[in-house]
Structure 1
Amino acid sequence: MKKALVVLSMMFMTMSYAQEIKQVPQISVAGEGKVKVVPDQATISATVETKGNVAKDVKKQNDQQMEAVLKVIKKMNLSPADYRTQRVSLNPVYDYEKKKTSYNATQTVEILLRDLSQYDELMEGLVNQGINRIDNVIFQSSKLAQYQSEARKLAMKDAKLKAEDYVSVLGQKVGKAMTISDNSQIYQPQPVYARMKTMAMDESATTTRETLAEGEITITANVSVSFILE
């Protein structure tokens, strides 16, 4: 009997608690914000590649060409913090048809160019002094954090505008936000490949010319927001 009374008491308390819970009218929407900016700097990844039959000679030639490349970089008064050796390799390559081993040496330097007006001069200097492979060029903004903040604010405004559009026909109003989820992807600048490889292979180019067309980069923020309806 006591057990039955306890069970009935718990059921009564549960029902009473459930009656006190009120459904809160709400709406969930997604918002997107985009900021387009002209990049003001670039990261250049450039490689010296040499081949030959004697490992020692191949490595020596590679070192000499990279030394000349570094002199070009220093001549342009770039900060030492803005360039670094990224990769160094010396690998044997076996030719099964000729049954002969050759060697391939590479050194890659990564350069952060903060002044795009130096771009053409730097690229031609690199190619003329031994760079024979431009792996990629990534255009970016030095004010990325600022533009990401702007994009997030635009995304929130977009979400609220969508919510207001939906409820405007119902005679209701959008109230406070209950939940906010940031769905933004990590910003990854897109590299430029083909145009720079073409320039690198054009060894006959001797006159100064303008080859840079950096265009715009887009910084995007995405949010999901749940608003209370009033």
Structure 2
Amino acid sequence: MKKALLILSILFLTVSYGQEIKQIPQINVNGEGKVKVVPDQATILATIETKGNNAKDVKKDNDQKMEAVLRFIKKMNLDPADYKTQRVSLNPQYDYEKKKHSYNATQTVEILLKDLSKYDELMDGLVDQGINRIDNVTFQSSKLAQYQSEARKLAMKEAKLKAEDYVSVLGQKVGRAMTISDNSQTYYPQPVYMAMKSMEMSDTKAPRETLAVGEINITANVSVSFILE
């Protein structure tokens, strides 16, 4: 008897709880917003790598080359806040065949170039002054936050438009948003080096055009749950 009463009590509570829960009509949709931007600046990681048998000489040679690089960058009239050295290292290396040690010194300079018209001049000068490794070039926009905001707004507009399309045939309306999940992605193009056309050089030299920077694709993706009215 007690067991039967317990079961009836549980059933009563379950039914009561179920009656309290109201089903809220809603629709779940995805939206995407895209903004394409032409980069207006670039971050360059350039390295001097020096090898030799004497650690002191290798380090000294590497330092002298980096000093020349920094002097050249200064002559390019870049803001001192836009370049800095990093990742300085001096490592021994052992040649098992020759059974002798050698040394490898590296220094990297990071440069924020805000005027892409100076790109070719800067890169040529870096190599002339001793840079023998370009580790990375990333093209960016100085107005990235503004374009990301535009992409998010476009994504939300597309999500709402989708929801309205779906419910328009049902005689319902799209109400307020219940949940929003956002996942934005930004693609930074790598440099594309254009093939240099062979030409006979006369007294007048043609300007170099070795780089096509491409576009930055700023994409915002959202998942939205709307209440149906």
- Superposition TM-score tier, normalisation by shorter sequence: 0.7 to 0.9
Secondary structure of the equivalent of 1:39? coil
Q: Contact 2:193/2:211 (CA < 8 Å) preserved in 1? A: no
Q: What is the identity percentage for the equivalent residue pairs of Structure 1 and Structure 2?
A: 81
**Which string of whole-angstrom CA distances, capped at 9 and with x for unpartnered residues, describes residues 7-64 of structure 1?**
9778656634532332111111111111100000000000011111111111111111
Counterpart for residue 161 of structure 2:
161
Q: Contact 2:54/2:102 (CA < 8 Å) preserved in 1? A: yes
Q: Contact 2:69/2:129 (CA < 8 Å) preserved in 1? A: yes
1:213 aligns with 2:221: no
Post-superposition offset of 1:131: 0.6
Secondary structure of the equivalent of 1:108? strand
1:145 aligns with 2:137: no
Counterpart for residue 175 of structure 2:
175
Post-superposition offset of 1:183: 2.4
**TM-score normalized by structure 2?**
0.86
Counterpart for residue 48 of structure 1:
48
Matches within 5 A, 1:1-230: 12=12, 15-185=15-185, 187=186, 189-192=188-191, 195=193, 209-230=208-229
Between the aligned partners of 1:57 and 1:20, the Cα distance in structure 2 is 82
Give structure 2 stretches of 5+ with no counterpart. Answer: 197-204
Between the aligned partners of 1:164 and 1:215, the Cα distance in structure 2 is 36
Residues 178/151 of structure 1: CA separation in 2 closer, same or farther (3 Å cut)? same
Post-superposition offset of 1:175: 1.6
Secondary structure of the equivalent of 2:211? coil
The AA in structure 2 aligned to 1:31 is G
**Which string of whole-angstrom CA distances, capped at 9 and with x for unpartnered residues, describes residues 61-94 of structure 1?**
1111111100111001111111111211111111
Aligned length: 221
Between the aligned partners of 1:44 and 1:217, the Cα distance in structure 2 is 17
Secondary structure of the equivalent of 1:104? strand
Secondary structure of the equivalent of 2:58? helix
**RMSD (CA atoms):** 2.6
Secondary structure of the equivalent of 2:50? strand
Between the aligned partners of 1:195 and 1:68, the Cα distance in structure 2 is 26
Between the aligned partners of 2:206 and 2:133, the Cα distance in structure 1 is 20
Q: Contact 2:175/2:227 (CA < 8 Å) preserved in 1? A: yes
Between the aligned partners of 1:46 and 1:141, the Cα distance in structure 2 is 20
Between the aligned partners of 1:222 and 1:11, the Cα distance in structure 2 is 44
Post-superposition offset of 1:188: 5.7
Give structure 1 stretches of 5+ with no counterpart. Answer: 200-205
**TM-score normalized by structure 1?**
0.85
Between the aligned partners of 2:106 and 2:54, the Cα distance in structure 1 is 15
Between the aligned partners of 1:13 and 1:103, the Cα distance in structure 2 is 79
Between the aligned partners of 1:179 and 1:10, the Cα distance in structure 2 is 33
The AA in structure 1 aligned to 2:225 is S
Secondary structure of the equivalent of 1:131? coil
